[in-house]
Amino acid sequence: MHISNYRRKFEAVFLLFVIFLLICIGRLLFIQLFKSDFLASIAKKQHSLFVELEPRRGTLFDINNKPLAVNIFVDSVYASPTSIADKNKEAIIRQLSSVLGVSSSALREKLYRKKHFVWLARKISPEQSETIKKLKIKGLGFIKESKRCYPNGYLASHVIGFAGLDNTGLEGLELNYDAYLKGQPGWALFLRDARQNKLDLWEKMVQPSDGYDLVLTIDEVIQYIAERELDKAFKQYRAKGASIVVLDPHTGAVLAFANRPTYDLNDYSSASKDVRRNRLICDMFEPGSVFKIVTASAALEEKKITEEDKIFCENGQYRVANHILHDHTSHGWLTFRQVIEESSNIGTTKVAMMLGQDTVYKYVKLFGFGSKSGIDLGGEISGMVSSPKYWSKVSIANIPIGQGVGVTTLQLANEISIIANGGQLMQPFIVKEIRDQYGEPVKVVEPKMVKKVLSVDTANRIKKILVGVVEEGTGKMAKVLGFSAAGKTGTAQKLEPNGTYSHDKFVASFIGFAPAEDPLIAVAVSVDEPRGSIYGGVVSAPVFKNVALDTLRYLRTKQLPEEILISNETD
C-alpha cells in the first residue's frame, strides 16, 4: 500500500515536470518562430548606439589664404535615459542644470524620455565638458562635434555671415554657399557593453563627406583699413549708418566690403536684425550729385557738348516747370568741366535737357541702376528707376542730378568703376574659388563683363574731369599728396514719411578711384544721416583719401614717390 502511494506520487511529479518541459519547449518554439526578430532588435538597441557623424564645414579664406571662418572641435553631451535609474535622475538634473545653464524642467523632459539617446547640450565649452566628466555620471557620454569660429570677430561680418548650431549657414556667404560648405553627414553604429557604456568599436560606419572651402576676393588687410576708416567717420559724425566697398575696377573683384553698425560673428545672437542688415546692398537712397557722372558721360558719348563749352548757370536759381532749381553756390558762366567740378545742379540740368529724357534714361540703365548687380550675396535690391513715361515735368531736372532715383552703395561703386576701367560694367563678385578638401579647385570664378557702357575715349575724358573735382572742385578733401585720384562728391536730402525732402537728414557720399592714370581700386563711401556736417566732400571724401593711401601703400604701387614708401616703413 505504501509503495503504491509512493509510485503514484512519483508519477504525478514526473508528469508535472514533463508538462512544464513541454510548456518551455512550446514557449521557446513560439519565441523562435514568432518573436525572434522583435527580441533581436531590442537586444541590438541595447548593445548598439546610432550616431550621426558631422562633416567638417568648409573654411573661408581671404585672397591670401588667411582663414576668416573655421571649424573647431568641441564636446557635445548626450544621455541614455533608459540606462539611468529613475531614482537617480533628479540628482543628475540638479548637478547638470547649473553646469550647462539649462533649466531643470528642460533637462527633466529629456531624461524621462523612453529613449536610448537624447542630446543634453550641443557644443559646450571645454570648461563645461571637464566639469561634467569629473561628475562621472552613469548614462552620460560625449561626442566630438565641430563648431563654427570666426577668428577676426567683427571683420567682414556682413560678407561672411554666420552658421547656426547645426553648422547650417544663416547669413552672408555662409548662407549663399551653404550647399558647397556644409558637406554630407555620415553615420556609425557603435557597440555598447552590458552597462550601456559606448565602446570605441563600431559595427557599421559611413564616413562623412567634408564641405568645400571658399577663397574670397576679400583682402584681410584692405578690409581692415576700410573698416577702420569707416568706423572713424561713423563715430565722429554720430551717423545712423555707413557703408564702404573697395573694388578692383578692372575685374569687379570685391577687395573690401563693410557696414556700420556691425557685430561680432562669434556672438551673432546678441545683434539685432537692424545691425545684421547688409546696408551696402539692401538699403536704397537718393544718390545726389555722385549721379551727375551718368549725365556727364551721356553728354560726351552722344557728342552733345565738349569739356570747354560754356553753360550759363543762372546765378543760382533756375525755373523748371513749377519748380525752382538751386545751386549750393551761385554761378554765372561755367565750362562743362567746371559744371561737374563745382557740382552745379543747374548746369547739369541744362545738359540733360540737351539730351532729352529718353537718352538720360538709356544711360541710367546702361550704368546698371535699377538692376541688381548680380553679386554673390543674398538680399540685394535693384534700386528704383522709373520709366520716362512716368516722369513728371520736373523729372528732367531732378533725375540727372540724383533725385527721384533709388540706388545702393554697391551700384555707386559700379558707376565709378565704369569710368576707371574704360567704360565697362563688370559684375562684382566675392568668391574667387571653391576648393575641395585636398586643395584642388572645384570651381574658379572668372571676371564677367555685363556690358559695354562707354567708349574708352569718353571714359578717359570723364576721368580727367573727375580728377579736376578732386584737385579743384568739391572733392578737395579726397586729395592725397603723392598720387592722383579722381572722384565725385554727393550730398542728398532724405525723404520724410510724408514725401517731402528733409532739412536735417542727409546721405553724404563720395565715389572715386586711384591712381587716376592706372586705377588699382575704386571706392564708394556713403554715410547715412551724419551730424555736425552733412556734405559728402567733408564727411566721406576723407574716408576715401585714407583708405586709398593705405591700400596703395599696402599694394606697393609705383604711383607713390619712393620717399613716402621709405617714410612709411620707418614709422
- Which pLDDT tens digit goes with each residue over 391-402? 999 999 999 999
3 has a pLDDT exceeding 80: no
Identify the sign of the CA torsion 254, 256, 260, 264. Answer: positive
Residue spans of the domains in the chain: they are 2-50, 52-216, 220-264+279-570
pLDDT at 189: 65
Most confident of 181-185, 480-484, 564-568: 181-185
CA 490 to chain centre: 26
DSSP label of 212: P
Cα angle: 505, vertex 509, 513; to 5 degrees = 180
Closest CA to 407 of 287, 276, 241: 287
Task: Provide mean pLDDT across the span 147-170.
Answer: 92
Q: Three-state SS across 222-266? A: HHHHHHHHHHHHHHHCCCCEEEEEEECCCCCEEEEEEEECCCCHH
Poorest-pLDDT segment among 91-105, 198-212, 399-413, 506-520: 198-212
pLDDT band of 480, cuts 50, 70, 90: confident
Give the contacts of 396 (CB within 8 A, at least 6 positions apart).
320, 349, 352, 353, 357, 360
pLDDT band of 26, cuts 50, 70, 90: confident
Closest CA to 385 of 375, 429, 398, 249: 398
**Residues 370 and 354 sit within 8 Å (Cβ to Cβ):** no
Residue burial 76-96, b: 16+ Cβ < 10 Å; e: rest: bbbbbbeebeeeebeebbeeb
SS3 78: strand
Spatial separation of the C-alpha atoms in residues 217 and 226, rounded to whole Å: 15
- Extract the C-alpha cell encoding 135: 561628475
Burial of 514 (0-12, 13-18, 19+ CB in 10 A): buried
Task: Provide mean pLDDT across the span 358-387.
Answer: 96
Task: Provide mean pLDDT across the span 518-525.
Answer: 96
DSSP label of 49: E
Rounded to two decimals, the pTM is: 0.82
Instruction: Dump pLDDT digits (tens) for 302-341.
Output: 999 999 999 999 998 999 988 899 988 899 999 999 999 9
Structure-model confidence comparison of residues 147 and 535, the more confident one:
535
Task: Provide mean pLDDT across the span 270-287.
Answer: 95
pLDDT at 17: 79
pLDDT at 101: 85
The per-residue pLDDT of the chain, averaged, comes to 88
Prior bond of 261 cis (ω within 30°): yes
379 has a pLDDT exceeding 50: yes
Give 485's Cβ-side CA count (13 Å radius): 32
pLDDT at 191: 57
- Extract the C-alpha cell encoding 77: 553631451
Poorest-pLDDT segment among 35-44, 314-323, 386-395: 35-44
Q: What percent of the chain has pLDDT over 70?
A: 89
Identify the sign of the CA torsion 137, 140, 145, 148. Answer: negative
Structure-model confidence comparison of residues 566 and 453, the more confident one:
453
Q: Which CATH architecture has domain 52-216?
A: Alpha-Beta Complex (3.90)
Prior bond of 447 cis (ω within 30°): no
DSSP string, 305-344: --TT-EEE-GGGEEEETTEEEE-SS--SEEEHHHHHHTT-
pLDDT at 565: 45
pLDDT at 89: 85
36 has a pLDDT exceeding 90: no
pLDDT at 1: 54
pLDDT at 45: 52
Instruction: Dump pLDDT digits (tens) for 112-130.
Output: 888 878 888 888 888 888 9
Spatial separation of the C-alpha atoms in residues 18 and 459, rounded to whole Å: 108
Q: What are the catalytic residues? A: 289
pLDDT band of 205, cuts 50, 70, 90: low
Q: 220-264+279-570, superfamily in CATH?
A: DD-peptidase/beta-lactamase superfamily (3.40.710.10)
SS3 32: helix
pLDDT band of 566, cuts 50, 70, 90: very low
Give 150's Cβ-side CA count (13 Å radius): 21
SS3 441: strand
237 has a pLDDT exceeding 90: yes
pLDDT at 33: 67
DSSP label of 210: P
Spatial separation of the C-alpha atoms in residues 548 and 543, rounded to whole Å: 8
Structure-model confidence comparison of residues 562 and 253, the more confident one:
253
97 has a pLDDT exceeding 60: yes
pLDDT band of 542, cuts 50, 70, 90: very high
**Residues 462 and 296 sit within 8 Å (Cβ to Cβ):** yes
- Extract the C-alpha cell encoding 431: 568668391
SS3 104: helix
Burial of 257 (0-12, 13-18, 19+ CB in 10 A): buried
pLDDT band of 9, cuts 50, 70, 90: confident
Residue with cell 566639469: 131
Closest CA to 424 of 402, 400, 448: 448
Same topology between domain 52-216 and domain 220-264+279-570: no
Could you count the other beta carbons within 10 Å of the beta carbon of residue 556? 8
**Residues 242 and 206 sit within 8 Å (Cβ to Cβ):** no
Task: Provide mean pLDDT across the span 27-44.
Answer: 62
Radius of gyration of the CA atoms of the chain, in A: 35
Most confident of 159-168, 317-326, 515-524: 515-524
569 has a pLDDT exceeding 50: no
Instruction: Dump pLDDT digits (tens) for 52-67.
Output: 677 889 999 999 999 9
3-state helix, strand, coil in the chain (%, to 5): 40, 25, 35
DSSP string, 379-395: T----B---GGG--TTH
Residue burial 156-175, b: 16+ Cβ < 10 Å; e: rest: bbbbbbbbeeebebebbbbb
500 has a pLDDT exceeding 80: yes
pLDDT at 219: 96
**Residues 296 and 306 sit within 8 Å (Cβ to Cβ):** no
pLDDT at 28: 74
pLDDT at 354: 95
**Residues 541 and 530 sit within 8 Å (Cβ to Cβ):** no
